[in-house]
């Protein structure tokens, strides 16, 4: 790689300087990316709801949740690759970065194609199991199948953006999400309504527009990365890295599977909740779908700060700068309280106007949406606390116990609350179950952060061993279920001679104490 190429690489060192400033400089572009994606989704929802009706809006709610649950495993691998890339960046190991991104792409692309095919085939069955309202079922099937067709491109786009953030570059994803949003905003009304020479495709046009926008943005982002000489790009000789490295893949699987399962837990609980909401009628489902648009904005700061905390902690662990970790977490929590709290306040004041954009100001679903928002949105303060803590712990491969916490919060707490109190509270039990689950997640997450074993790599007395360029070498015979109680980094064992000396010293001390007690008697 030429010197010019290196100078244009947008990677950022997250191990130096002011923690607060570094976190903001990283998190704000990520927050901007999330805001643009959410704005795009909201505008699309406005076009669908106002042009095609409440049934179409309910159809998108059902379709989006089903798509989310089917891509969760794949997304977990993307999160795991970001951790490995961040730690390799902290060690200044560019070869490991390339091997990791090659393994991730070479594995996730074929998996996403398989998931896409399975989703297309079983989409009608999934919608039936969900209890999709009959008036929205046909629209939901059309929308969902188009999303499945575009899934390989969507996942590849997401994976590369996550990998860029792992290198400390959160600006490049922002620009290409902006390009994607602009294209989508132009194509969506054009294809829904059939403006000019374009066909009138209705809800299919909404999904097709998003697929085209993501494809063009992905192509542009990859070209830009090669022009800049990004550390993530692969030369002709390095394309062999697309053949998955066994050790890297094992590490991705051990970290990515629990994170994917965590998303499965969240989305499956959401599916169960949506099935309960669907029973309340199309208007309630449409109101819930519109409220979800508001919740998308409220949780943006938490997700951006979680990503920032995870990337910063991963690089600092790779650089063996453990003294910065607690500060990163504290600033993440502080920024979450400020940003998420402000958003909740603004949306509470203007919720009627905002919900009117999606449903129409005279829709009977608007009062239902306002009630849902007032009952549940405050819980996202606690959601943000949990996400920052999980982002910190995840950066050192601590993923099993957060999965357990999420399972407990989603099922015994949230669904138990909704089912158990429904006879007493009616629909309010559904809406209050959301903050109940979020509070439980934050409390248990704080317990893990304070007392869990995620810091194990820090306290071992031996010298840290550099991880091999060929791949992430895990302890032989260690199962994935134990990944959260060993450090992500590998540590040299104490020499046998030193162990023998320590044993002798301990034996002498015990003998002296025994003799002293004997003489006193």
Determine the Cα–Cα distance for residues 243 and 104; give it in Å rounded to an integer.
9
337-344 long-range CB contacts below 8 Å, 24 or more apart?
A: 337/381, 337/384, 339/31, 339/301, 339/305, 340/298, 340/299, 340/301, 340/302, 340/380, 340/381, 340/383, 340/384, 341/381, 343/297, 343/298, 343/300, 343/301, 344/298, 344/377, 344/378, 344/380, 344/381
Model confidence pTM above 0.85 = no
Q: Are 81 and 159 in contact (CB under 8 A)?
A: yes
pLDDT, residue 65, reads 67
pLDDT, residue 497, reads 47
322 burial level (CB within 10 Å; 0-12, 13-18, 19+): middle
pLDDT, residue 90, reads 77
**How would you write the pLDDT of the chain (521 residues) with one tens digit per residue?**
334 333 445 566 677 788 888 888 888 888 888 778 777 776 777 777 766 776 677 777 666 666 666 666 666 777 778 778 877 887 888 888 898 888 888 888 888 888 888 888 888 887 777 677 777 778 778 888 888 888 889 888 888 988 888 787 888 888 998 999 899 889 988 988 888 888 888 878 888 888 899 999 999 999 999 998 888 888 888 888 888 788 888 888 777 777 777 777 777 777 788 788 888 888 888 888 888 878 878 988 998 898 888 888 888 888 888 889 999 999 999 999 999 999 999 988 888 888 887 777 778 888 998 999 999 999 999 999 999 999 899 888 787 888 899 889 988 999 899 989 999 998 899 999 999 999 999 999 999 999 888 887 443 333 332 232 222 233 323 333 333 333 333 333 334 444 555 556 666 666 666 666 666 55
């Amino acid at each position: 790689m030429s010197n010019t190429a290196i100078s244009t690489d947008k990677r950022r060192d997250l191990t130096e300087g002011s923690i607060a400033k570094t976190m903001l400089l990283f998190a704000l572009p990520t927050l901007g990316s999330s805001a643009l994606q959410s704005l795009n989704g909201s505008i699309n929802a406005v076009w669908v709801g106002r042009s095609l009706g409440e049934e179409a809006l309910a159809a998108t709610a059902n379709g989006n949740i089903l798509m989310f649950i089917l891509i969760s495993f794949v997304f977990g691998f993307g999160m795991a690759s970001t951790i490995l890339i961040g730690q390799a960046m902290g060690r200044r190991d560019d070869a490991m970065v390339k091997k990791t991104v090659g393994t991730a792409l070479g594995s996730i692309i074929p998996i996403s194609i398989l998931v896409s095919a399975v989703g297309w085939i079983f989409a009608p069955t999934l919608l039936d199991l969900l209890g999709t309202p009959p008036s929205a079922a046909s629209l939901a099937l059309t929308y969902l199948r188009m999303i499945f067709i575009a899934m390989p491109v969507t996942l590849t786009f997401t994976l590369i953006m996550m990998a860029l953030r792992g290198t400390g570059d959160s600006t490049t994803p922002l620009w290409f999400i902006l390009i994607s949003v602009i294209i989508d905003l132009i194509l969506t009304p054009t294809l829904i309504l059939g403006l000019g020479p374009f066909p009138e495709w209705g809800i299919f046009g909404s999904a097709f527009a998003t697929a085209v926008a993501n494809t063009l943005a992905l192509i542009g982002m990859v070209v830009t990365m090669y022009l800049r000489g990004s550390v993530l790009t692969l030369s002709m000789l390095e394309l062999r890295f697309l053949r998955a490295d066994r050790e890297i893949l094992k590490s991705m699987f051990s970290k990515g599977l629990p994170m994917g399962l965590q998303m499965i837990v969240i989305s499956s609980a959401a599916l169960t909740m949506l099935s309960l909401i669907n029973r309340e009628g199309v208007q309630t489902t449409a109101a819930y779908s519109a409220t979800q648009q508001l919740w998308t904005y409220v949780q943006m700061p938490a997700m951006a700060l979680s990503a920032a905390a995870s990337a910063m902690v991963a690089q600092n662990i790779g650089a063996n700068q453990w003294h910065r970790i607690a500060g990163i977490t504290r600033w993440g929590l502080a920024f979450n309280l400020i940003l998420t709290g402000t958003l909740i306040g603004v949306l509470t004041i203007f919720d009627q106007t905002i919900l009117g954009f999606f449903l129409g100001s005279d829709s009977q679903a608007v009062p239902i949406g306002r009630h849902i928002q007032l009952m549940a949105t405050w819980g996202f303060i606690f959601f943000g606390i949990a996400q920052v803590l999980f982002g910190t712990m995840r950066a050192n491969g601590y993923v099993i116990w957060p999965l357990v916490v999420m399972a407990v919060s989603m099922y015994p707490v949230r669904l138990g609350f909704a089912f158990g109190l429904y006879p007493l509270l009616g629909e309010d039990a559904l809406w209050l179950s959301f903050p109940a689950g979020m509070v439980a997640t934050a409390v248990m997450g704080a317990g893990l952060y304070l007392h869990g074993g995620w810091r194990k790599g820090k306290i071992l007395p031996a010298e840290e061993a550099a991880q091999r360029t060929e791949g992430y070498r895990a302890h032989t015979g260690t199962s994935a279920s134990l990944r959260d109680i060993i450090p992500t980094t590998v540590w040299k064992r104490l020499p046998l001679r030193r162990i023998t000396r320590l044993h002798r010293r301990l034996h002498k001390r015990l003998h002296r104490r025994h003799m002293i007690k004997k003489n006193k008697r």
